[in-house]
Amino acid sequence: MTETVPYEITGTAGEIEFRKYPPLVLATVESPGGDVGFNLLFGYISGNNTARDTISMTSPVITSGTIPMTAPVVSDTTSMSFVMPPEKSRDDIPEPVDERVRIVPVPEREMAVIRFKGHARKDDVAAVEVRLKEGLRKAGIEPVGEPFLMRYNPPWIPGFLRRNEVGVEIRR
């Protein structure tokens, strides 16, 4: 079973769950989409790194039109990130061999999240993003950056069993 990033639930507002996440390290790739980013990241955790180590898969896999949980970057690419095992610090993570893979430390932060099931199609994700932004507006909470998608399951899991989330960093 894939390890999942730990978090503490700090509250709710309607369907929105507020969570506090610990500092994390992401392996991130910017790509035109499709399988390119996934394949580069999977290669990295499978040993295409300077230590030739395999790294445990940790969920969620994060995709965004911007680099997740940092200042927005406007581009025609998307980013995909694998979360490194939460017990590992930046110093414990081997450097990528492929320069398209970047290692990005992310500080502790609070997030607003809406969970949904299905195949995380573009239209479904966009609809959840709208609900998240509207729910935060009604709660008087400002998001930091843009929402991003978090997927928890491998592709062979049926849609009705899949866990997906749209999240955004917040400051309260």
Q: Which domains does the chain have, with CATH numbers?
A: 3-171 (3.20.80.10)
pTM over 0.75: yes
At residue 172, the 3 state secondary structure works out as: coil
> SS3 string of 24-91?
EEEEEEEECCCCHHHHHHHHHHCCCECCCCCCCCEECEEEECCCCCCCCCCCCCEEEEEECCCCCCHH
What is the residue type of 87? E
What is the residue type of 103? I
Query: What would the pLDDT profile of 79-103 be if each residue is shown by its tens digit?
Result: 899 999 989 999 999 999 999 999 9
Structure tokens at 128: 């959840």
Average pLDDT, the chain: 89
